[in-house]
Structure 1
Amino acid sequence: MRALITGGTGFLGANLAAYLRGQGWTVRILRRATSPLEAIKDLEVEHAIGDVLDPDSLRPAMVGCDVVFHTAAISAYWRTPAEQILRVNIEGTRNILAAARELAIRRVVLTSSLAALGVPEPGTLLTEDHPYNLPPGRFLYGYSKAMAEAIARIFVEQGLEVVIVNPSVILGPRDIHRISGSLILEMARERVPALPPGGVNVVAVEDVARGHLLALERGRPGERYILGGENLSYRELAEQIAEIVGVPAPRRVLAPPVVKGLAALARIASGIGVSLPIGADQLWLSAHFIWCDGRKAEAELGYRPEIPVREAIRRAWEWYQTTDKALEAS
């Protein structure tokens, strides 16, 4: 079996490629000519040069492939212009699915995000039935992922088999762009003076990769499946990170109104061109508990997270250290 992975040089795409190779698959990655190859340098994969925004490059990339894993997306949304987020995450998905339909690809797994489910009511957990409930301007990344899912369901109605997966916050090795693991790095540098009052669900990237294959094999077309791990408060997550990287954990937790006020200030600063290490959307969301219920993926896919968050942090930290030392020596 041959799989095409879009975004194959990125954090999730590279880990998915490694997992599939370990399962005996032939893997082809779609990448731009300028894509950094650090995350896949140890992997035996085929390379197809192209871009999700260039439809003419997608059909040659898919020829000979049985399935497509569409992991390519703009994830560093706080560093990226809004127009680019919408084009890549929405129109890029449309282009991939159109090419897959044209070439009669057997099945596509679309990597969405827990962000596409919005924000739960206080005291509740996100499930796959939760509708996206935020305006586009509040959280553009989540909106773009929800719209990509809506496009996928149109293709499903037209006969293309698309299964949607919604990973939570992913940690682990091969995070070449330092996106999900930025908190680990900032904690290690002791640049986190205080913590937000909310919480997140955190999962090991290897579990998410395995969940993609389970979704391919067992998922129902048009359905979404949460690929989650552990529901943690930011304080609990920070304490685990601090233990792994060997620094004191921040003791101060900000009140929700303070965090939301900082988010408003960050939005103003961003609007006048000030570069910030964290975005307004991230700050606003960090005042909420974005926790989830993974029972649907367990029941239908047989997916259960196997790697504890503490171990995911350790693997990520070791990879950052090894990679940074290699970059310094080059």
Structure 2
Amino acid sequence: MRVVVTGATGFMGGRLCAALADAGHDVRAFALRGVDASGLPPSVEVVYGDVTDEDSLATAFHGRDAVFHSAAAVEAWLPDASIFHRVHQGKAFCTEYEKSKFLADRIALQAAAEGVPITIVYPGVMYGPGTLTSGNLVCRVLIERFNGRLPGYIGNGYDRESFSHVDDVVSGHIAAMEKGRVGERYLLTGENASFVRIFNLAANITNTKPPKFHIPLWLLEIYGWISVFVARITGKPPLISHPGVDCLRHQWAYSCDKAKKELGYSPRSLTGGLSETLLWLKNAATPTAATGIGRRWRLAAESGCCAAVAGGGMRVLVTGATGYLGGRLCAALADADHAVRALARRSSDVSGLASGVELAYGDVADADSLAAAFDGCDAVFHVAAVVEPWLPDPSVFFKVNVRGLENVLKAAKRTPTVKKIVYTSSFFAIGPTDGYVADETQMHPGKAFCTEYEKSKVLADRIALQAATEGVPITIVYPGVIYGPGKLTTGNLVSRILIERFNGRLPGYIGDGYDRESFCHVDDVVSGHIAAMEKGRVGERYLLTGENLSFMQIFNMAANITNTKAPQFHVPLWLIEVYGWISVFISRITGKLPLISYPTVHVLRHQWSYSCDKAKTELGYSPRNLTEGLSEMLLWLKDEKQIKFK
């Protein structure tokens, strides 16, 4: 066909001209006078003009069968905003560019309604080899990163952009000309990821270190305002401007399924595309050139190493990532070279998350918030749960622990990349074991429950097992009573009880020693989770437990380890239950949850002893002995000034 391409000297336009020429089309490039057109293929005819000049367009379009209108001012900020064709609409836009494209889209759709043979394509954030214009933002940002001028992550990882390789977008444009229906819209996007993930992928691909810290958006915005001030003096548009930062406060995640189906659009993986782009940037200039990224690194393929994601690591999401277990799981996964995305509520303290972990805000109780978080992930660890023996509003247990799991399963089913779900259940879902040791074959009777938490985990367990029978790739793990260094949440009950014991607020043994719990170190449970992702069979249950002992034995072991005196008497459970009722009454007034409540005492009237032999055999699970684990934890509590002993 005889085609004309506007914006032919830009990042995407130039590569579109080359691809059309290679496909045997007669290509005419429409370019601004004074713009360097030397990079266009020799067979491409160049005509000069401006899309703002109708007469020059008429000449350029003469005798052409098709028009690719690629020309645009692609900047987050310009000194003269009228270049974008500024028209106030009373709406909210991050940039004047966004506003201009929104208005142009309306015009295009109206033209289609009037019979104009127009097809509209919507690329995502493009990247790849080519001209280093504003349209090739990813390359420009990576140049800053690899040359040390952008030392940290951009923001906290909440942002989401749909990254598309420029050559895939070019192919999508040609397919739209050949197959696209008139008046239709086609998204030419790719994997939805944050710039945190881009930085992590780039580090993994190049075997270099990822950033050690996050640059907050408020600081970037200040830098953007300063850059705009400097730009007004120098006349050079800034790389980062305050409108650019406004974009990073939102998510721009899209599906290209329609283009895949109707146009045969086939975007490459982000890992593959970035690998090509980084190698091009490496070879594009000398190590000291401002446009290059140096030659001190090698691709994993060159060095024979296995880079994360590119060479065996997985893209994983962790719910409950700011909790006791979830936080340590995120750190361990990152250390194992997996690309980790942490799901957290906006009210959560995320400061303890490991460096390099991408942050996605959401809530398992909010199904809509999970879609973007799951996008592009290979595996999901569903750790999030309300872990309390008592709450003023018991419906919270059902909302988070039961409905939350249902939402996770629905989101996973809608995310084709998810190949494995590891669900963190609880020993409570297996049920009490008065007088014997149980394994994974035991099913909870489902008649009597000590706590609302136990009931919620039993209900959720049934949902997980049913999902497995329906083909959902879920593996279920059942930790025991977890202990060890880390956050002093309810999930770290052993630490909290020992703090009370060593500070004199719990002077005697808890009960008469009949109780039995299966104690497991948090890092052993973390290793068990990762092994379940790598080796666990779909639909199977694995107990991640340890030694079965009473709290009386725990107190004695702690006394022996620290060379302190053991308690001299037992506090009967009936007295602790009275204390629990009083604590609950006070909690309803103060709003502060009690350490011991009456449902806790109901738990202590039973035994919860389990065997983890199946996990040892199939997963390689290897729990440390309790003396070793308690010694480590007690020393950590001492260092944290929570307890004292010589």
Shorter chain as normaliser: what TM range? 0.7 to 0.9
- Do residues 15 (structure 1) and 333 (structure 2) align? no
What is residue 498 of structure 2 aligned with on the other side?
184
Alpha-carbon displacement from aligned partner over 1:192-251 (angstroms, at most 9, x marks no partner) = 222222221111111000001111122222221100111112222112223456643223
Instruction: Give the 5 Å matches for 1:221-232.
Output: 221-232=538-549
TM-score by length of 1: 0.88
Aligned partners of 1:22 and 1:224: how far apart in 2? 26
What is residue 303 of structure 1 aligned with on the other side?
621
Task: Tell whether the 8 Å contact from 1:38 to 1:176 is kept in structure 2 after alignment.
Answer: no
Alpha-carbon displacement from aligned partner over 1:266-302 (angstroms, at most 9, x marks no partner) = 4587479476430222212213332111112122222
Task: Tell whether the 8 Å contact from 2:579 to 2:597 is kept in structure 1 after alignment.
Answer: no
135-144 or 180-189, larger mean C-alpha shift: 135-144
Q: Which amino acid aligns with 1:31?
A: A
Aligned partners of 1:320 and 1:86: how far apart in 2? 33
Task: Tell whether the 8 Å contact from 2:439 to 2:543 is kept in structure 1 after alignment.
Answer: yes
What is residue 553 of structure 2 aligned with on the other side?
236
Task: Tell whether the 8 Å contact from 1:132 to 1:143 is kept in structure 2 after alignment.
Answer: no
For 1:286, which of 590, 604, 608 is the aligned residue? Answer: 604
Q: Secondary structure at the match of 2:537?
A: coil
Q: Secondary structure at the match of 1:289?
A: coil
What is residue 508 of structure 2 aligned with on the other side?
194
Q: Which amino acid aligns with 1:142?
A: E
Q: Which amino acid aligns with 2:440?
A: E
Alpha-carbon displacement from aligned partner over 1:96-129 (angstroms, at most 9, x marks no partner) = 111011102101000001111111132x012112
Instruction: Give the 5 Å matches for 1:28-47.
Output: 28-40=341-353, 42-47=354-359
Alpha-carbon displacement from aligned partner over 1:29-83 (angstroms, at most 9, x marks no partner) = 000111123542x432000000001111101001111100000001123356311
Change beyond 3 A, Cα 1:265–1:172: closer
Aligned partners of 1:109 and 1:186: how far apart in 2? 34
What is residue 482 of structure 2 aligned with on the other side?
170
| RMSD of aligned Cα (Å) | 2.4
Aligned partners of 2:565 and 2:610: how far apart in 1? 29
Aligned partners of 2:449 and 2:339: how far apart in 1? 41
Task: Tell whether the 8 Å contact from 1:67 to 1:106 is kept in structure 2 after alignment.
Answer: yes
Change beyond 3 A, Cα 1:135–1:323: farther
Change beyond 3 A, Cα 1:46–1:319: farther
Query: 1:23: how far off?
Result: 1.3
Q: Which amino acid aligns with 2:529?
A: H
What is residue 110 of structure 1 aligned with on the other side?
423
Q: How many residues align?
A: 319
What is residue 401 of structure 2 aligned with on the other side?
89
Aligned partners of 1:137 and 1:130: how far apart in 2? 16
User: Which runs of no fewer than 5 residues in structure 1 stay unpaired?
Assistant: 326-330
Q: Which amino acid aligns with 1:108?
A: I
Q: Which amino acid aligns with 2:502?
A: A
User: Which runs of no fewer than 5 residues in structure 2 stay unpaired?
Assistant: 1-313
Aligned partners of 1:321 and 1:39: how far apart in 2? 20
What is residue 153 of structure 1 aligned with on the other side?
465
Q: Secondary structure at the match of 1:47?
A: strand
Which of structures 1 and 2 has the bigger CA Rg?
2
Change beyond 3 A, Cα 1:10–1:145: same
Change beyond 3 A, Cα 1:249–1:265: closer
TM-score by length of 2: 0.46
Q: Secondary structure at the match of 2:390?
A: helix
- Do residues 24 (structure 1) and 337 (structure 2) align? yes
Aligned partners of 1:58 and 1:137: how far apart in 2? 31
Change beyond 3 A, Cα 1:213–1:114: same
Higher relative contact order (CA 8 A, sep 6+): 1
Task: Tell whether the 8 Å contact from 2:583 to 2:597 is kept in structure 1 after alignment.
Answer: no
Instruction: Give the 5 Å matches for 1:242-261.
Output: 242-244=559-561, 247-254=564-571, 258-259=572-573
Percent identity over the alignment is: 33
Task: Tell whether the 8 Å contact from 1:77 to 1:85 is kept in structure 2 after alignment.
Answer: no
Task: Tell whether the 8 Å contact from 1:230 to 1:309 is kept in structure 2 after alignment.
Answer: yes
For 1:312, which of 623, 629, 643 is the aligned residue? Answer: 629
